[in-house]
Amino acid sequence: MKIVVLDGYSINPGDLSWDRLALLGDLTVHDRTPKVEALSRIGQAEIALTNKTVLSAETLTQAPNLKYVGVLATGYNIVDVRAAAAKGIVVANVPSYGTEAVAQFAIALMLELCHHVGLHSRLVAEGRWEKNLDYSFWETPLVELVGKVLGVIGFGRIGRQTAKIARALGMRVVAHTPHPEPEDADLAEFVSLDRLLSDSDVITLHCPLTPSTEGIINKANLAKMKKGVLIVNNSRGQLVVEEDLAAALESGQVQAAAVDVVSAEPIRSDNPLLKAKNCLITPHISWAPKETRQRLLNTAIDNVEAFLKGAPANVIKG
């Protein structure tokens, strides 16, 4: 059984082990694979694992022995699942591995917007404190979260976990989701999108990218928010119309924003958020703690084992 990992570096830059996967077949691991080389890299393999390498219909239909595609992620839009199904190729993903880490990172971004810990540490290192006339100084407004309203757009696993942490910080949580669960009523008050936008002091995004959510943070919705709102996005970059958010930051309608995702990744030099005032950008690392990546890898290998046993798990329907 030939197994190929097309782009293993992002999940495992060297601090995890492929040994368990290697026990299941003749394993080849590539750090990265350009789309144009995907077919040649798959070669005669029966099993291919991919994180971001695109597997198009053309690639899938021409791979002579391919029987299984494992997506090393939750999102699977990089694989043409209809073409795979038509050829009898099983496609499986890892539906839940980063709930705790992504929620933790959302809160970390929110806290950084409130306290600017990194900025003040740098100012101390630059000598600002030792030269200060007073025992204390702060360069930016500091925000206490107790009693503030957190608006959570999307209330799946990550939205719920974020709400739990926010409540522990003393925040009141409102949420907007198409299908609220009755058992979540103790975590959040479910409201309309307009109500969430108008009531929230902080807004955090945890919804999937769909036609109804794409560009949900746009000029019209930004105008409905409280002046001075904080916005956090570590879900999908395309949820935000970046030029609209940049303009709202410049005008002060939005006091500050923190994003771990952008519309095109890696970020491009012309992204308007790069020059926007009070905008914190991190390079899509919410999912990347070692513990989280190990959980992802373990589940991906579990999926391969299940397939080999004739009982595939976490299958994506074409």
Nearest to 97 by CA among 1, 199, 11: 11
Residue whose structure tokens are 């012309």: 270
- Span 42-65, mean pLDDT? 97
Alpha-carbon distance 297 to 1, whole Å? 19
Q: Is the pLDDT of residue 318 over 90?
A: no
Range(s) of the chain covered by CATH 3.40.50.720: 2-93+291-308, 99-281
pLDDT at 16: 98
pTM score, whole prediction: 0.94
Look over the chain and give the mean of its residue pLDDT values, rounded to a whole number.
97
- Span 206-227, mean pLDDT? 97
Give per-residue pLDDT as tens, 147-178: 999 999 999 999 999 999 999 999 999 999 99
Q: Name the catalytic one among 20, 265, 268, 291.
A: 265
Is 265 an active-site residue?
yes
Nearest to 207 by CA among 156, 152, 154: 154
Residues whose CB falls within 8 Å of the CB of residue 248, separated by 6 or more in sequence, listed in order: 219, 222, 254
pLDDT at 175: 98
Alpha-carbon distance 103 to 264, whole Å? 22
Q: Name the catalytic one among 41, 116, 236, 295.
A: 236
Is 181 an active-site residue?
no
Q: Is the pLDDT of residue 180 over 90?
A: yes
Q: Is the pLDDT of residue 213 over 90?
A: yes
Q: Name the catalytic one among 30, 250, 284, 305.
A: 284
Domain 99-281 has CATH 1.10.10.60: no
Is 30 an active-site residue?
no
Domain 2-93+291-308 has CATH 3.40.50.150: no
